[in-house]
Amino acid sequence: MTAEREKPMSEADVKAWLQTNLPSWRLEDGWIRRTYKTSGWKGTLMVINTVGHLAEAAWHHPDITASYAWVEVRLITHTAKGITPKDLELATKIESVVCWQPGKEGKGLEGTPQGDQRFAYIKYD
């Protein structure tokens, strides 16, 4: 039995969803994309590994491009030849984990020390 092919969302629906839910992500050339700025190679590798773990757990794999101080994550559902809800769901999970700042939650975890370059790794928006 063959699974029915997923239907891609319209460009307007994707853009509206991103604007409301993930404003740091954009639709470009048929992919949803997000560039994370880091403080250097250590942060870049941390972002790549985090995205890799989440993608493997979800069994939905993005394209990743990286340089010394940035990582671009691109998502599309290849079988649908466009963006589907699973791209948006994975993007949401990636965003919540990569951008998590426990020190701002006012709970027990203090978060990475800010202002000390020895500990800098993500440049938060």
Does the domain at 29-99+115-125 match CATH 3.30.1360.20? Answer given as: yes
48-62 pLDDT, tens digit per residue, is 999 999 999 999 999
Q: Specify the pLDDT at position 1.
A: 43
Q: Specify the pLDDT at position 51.
A: 98
Q: Specify the pLDDT at position 46.
A: 96
0.95 exceeded by pTM: no
* Beta-bridge mates of residue 67: 70
Q: Specify the pLDDT at position 3.
A: 59
Annotated domain spans of the chain: 29-99+115-125
- CB neighbourhood size of 91 (10 A): 24
- CB neighbourhood size of 97 (10 A): 13
75-122 pLDDT, tens digit per residue, is 999 999 999 999 999 999 999 999 999 988 888 998 888 888 888 888
Segment among 6-10, 13-17, 35-39, 115-119 with least mean pLDDT? 115-119
Given a contact cutoff of 8 angstroms between Cβ atoms, the answer to whether 41 and 120 are in contact is: no
Q: Quote the CA–CA distance of 40 and 68 in Å, as a whole number.
A: 6
Residues 64-76: what's their mean pLDDT? Answer: 98
Q: Specify the pLDDT at position 122.
A: 87
